[in-house]
Structure 1
Amino acid sequence: MRLNNSSLHYYIMKHIIDKGNAPKVAEMAGVFKVATDEMITALKALQDYHGVVLHPESSEVWVMHPFSCAPTNFWIESDGGSWWGNCAWCALGAAALLDKDLTITTNLGAESRQVTIEIRAGKVMNENLFIHFPIPMIEAWDNVIYTCSTMLVFESESDIESWCERHCMEKGDVQPINKVWEFSKVWYGNHLSPNWMKWSVDEAKEIFARFNLVNLVWDMPSNNSRF
């Protein structure tokens, strides 16, 4: 198997979907028939491309959006397996990739009240929920783990406003869960492709516009670099 960003991304993503965890560096080096140092270099190149997030010391896979390989506030479960999603957006994106009936268990605002989101026959059954996007997309990759940790589920916009006040967080964009579900299907729709490529900023802007995501949170200057 030829080693490049697309093939490496595909191998890791399929492993996570099939087994619920990421392959180890040594395993990937064996599969691609390269030395461990060469595999680590390839993984760091994929990270620079925003295709993976690695543990800073070991270079093992920490996050491959929409999945997390470490515990989070979003637990995804189906008859065929279970996974962690990084955030509300990612959890819905993972559900779209998995393409099966499942549940997403999370805590509203990452606080004490738990909710289980059901997806059945491609539809979100809990329609009266909202997702908050507080971090501007132009800053999303400054600390993508933190960014994901703030994209949470709420029952109302007033709950979001109260939450922002309690936690000294600027209110960002608020979207109904069904809209984010449809958006996530498109955003993550190519993530299991052997020919996967990361969206460019301009491609990302086009997808945002397609779903009428017009809040300043989604605004980015046009360029051809990868989002």
Structure 2
Amino acid sequence: MPELATLTGLAPDHVRRELRTLHGSHDVVLNPQDNDQVVMAHPFASVPLGFSVMGAHTLWWGGCARDSFAMPHLIPDERDVLVTTRCPACDTPHAWVIGRETPPQGDDQVAHFLIPMSRAWDDVVHTCGNQRLFCSTDCVDTWLQKTGRERGHVMDLGTLWRLARDWYTGRLEPGYTRRDPVSAAAYLAEVGLHGSFWGLPDFDLGSFPFRFSGARTDCAPANADPGERRACLRGLTAAAGPIRPTAYEARHLPEADGDSVPRRSCPGHPRRPAWMQPGAMVGPGPTRAFESRRARDPGRSGAGSERA
């Protein structure tokens, strides 16, 4: 804290108040025994949590597996970094060069996240300290048996890299705000995560041949990888409360006001039309149904024109 007071020119008590505010909004994490110490400012950490991240001129502690992989995506001057760790089960050392363009190569290595997202901030240092990288799922099982813990979520390195890629976008820019629950849920679904561990439906939204287009208010068939798909937020975030229409919807869909359901049709919609009910979702059914609908009514722009 004294360093921050000197750097900002503010009185120490003022700095303490601001740090507590940032801690309350989950923008920084303070040491519970010493509120003057910043333990984490994701993705950076001031304490060792299992990872080191080496750039061209700087060596950081990595907050967790995701935060370590996020560094080159966040720091403009670091096109790639060297991430190192040890397998918690067998102590085997691992190192990867993590860049912005493609995921790292990994044969059997996996990431294991122990704490479900609904409990992540109960003790966020413990949560981050248990998002680790293992030699394989066998090592995950060995570690769980040794520690008496229950399995959390296991993902491959490609999924971890996609999760880290844009999670902190804008973090170093003035005025940055953390993702709200709706956009966070959508982002997690985009990278291929699903299930109650992440606070999402149990089906994999990446398996549907539909993509939500931000440029239009419709859902259209798309041969896109899971990282490019967009899922309908209404089906994902029913528990988050009413979803207001976007600016585009407010301009172009005047009937989509208040808490009403905008004119969208996709696998995430609770009120999708009959031709998109689960019975129509077998094999190539969604794409065929979409094309059939357009053929019957060429004046419509697509599935999004059908009133949900």
Indicate the larger mover: 167-176 or 40-49.
Answer: 167-176
Does the alignment pair 1:162 with 2:142? Answer: yes
**Equivalent pair of 1:173/1:215 in contact (CA under 8 Å):** no
CA RMSD of the aligned region, Å?
A: 2.0
Report Cα offsets for 1:159-203 as digits up to 9, x if no partner.
212221111111111111112112211111221121210111222
Q: Deviations over 1:14-41 (max 9, x none)?
A: xxxxxxxxxxx23333443421101100
Change (3 A) 1:200 1:155: same
Which residue of structure 1 lines up, in the alignment, with residue 101 of structure 2? 122
Indicate how the Cα distance of structure 1 residues 91 and 121 shifts in structure 2: closer, same or farther if over 3 A, else same: closer
**Structure 1 counterpart of 2:82, from 61, 79, 103:** 103
CA distance in 2 between counterparts of 1:211 and 1:160 reads 22
Distance in 1 (CA, whole Å) between partners of 2:198 and 2:150 is 15
The structure with the largest alpha-carbon Rg is 2
> How many angstroms does 1:105 deviate by?
0.7
Match of 1:173 among 145, 150, 153: 153
Report what 2:275 is aligned to: none
Check conservation: 1:133, 1:151, Cα contact below 8 A.
Answer: yes
Give the Å deviation of 1:134: 1.7
User: Map of 1:186-205 to 2, 5 A cutoff?
Assistant: 186-205=166-185
1:64 to 2:64 alignment = no
Question: Structure 1 residues 170 and 33 mapped into 2: Cα distance closer, same or farther (>3 Å)?
Answer: same
1:136 paired to 2:116: yes
- 2: CA distance, partners of 1:121 / 1:42: 33
Q: Could you tell me which of 93, 110, 114 is aligned with 2:70? A: 93
SS at match of 2:36: coil
Q: Secondary structure at the match of 2:53?
A: strand
Task: Select the structure that is richer in helix.
Answer: 1
Equivalent pairs, count: 200
Question: Superposition pairs for residues 17-36 of structure 1, below 5 Å?
Answer: 25-36=1-12
Inter-partner Cα distance in structure 2 for 1:110 and 1:142: 25
CA offsets, 1:84-132, max 9 Å, x none?
1111111111232134222111011265211111225633433332111
What secondary structure sits across from 1:141 in the alignment? coil
Matched-pair contact (CA < 8 Å) for 1:109–1:154: yes
What is the TM-score of this pair, normalised by structure 2? 0.60
For 2:122 and 2:241, the matched residues in 1 are separated by 17
Q: 1:222 maps to what in 2?
A: 240
Over the matched positions of the two proteins, sequence identity in percent amounts to 27
Q: Is 2:28–2:42's contact at 8 Å kept on the other side of the alignment?
A: yes
Could you list the runs of 5+ residues in structure 1 that have no partner in the other structure? 1-24
Structure 1 contact 132–173 (Cα < 8 Å) conserved: yes
For the pair 1:208 / 2:188, whether they are aligned, the reply is yes
TM-score normalized by the length of structure 1: 0.80
- What amino acid is aligned across from residue 48 of structure 2 in structure 1? P
Contact 2:30–2:39 under 8 Å retained in 1: yes
State the alpha-carbon separation in 2 of the partners of residues 187 and 110 from structure 1: 28
In structure 1, what is the Cα distance between the partners aligned to 2:104 and 2:153? Answer: 22
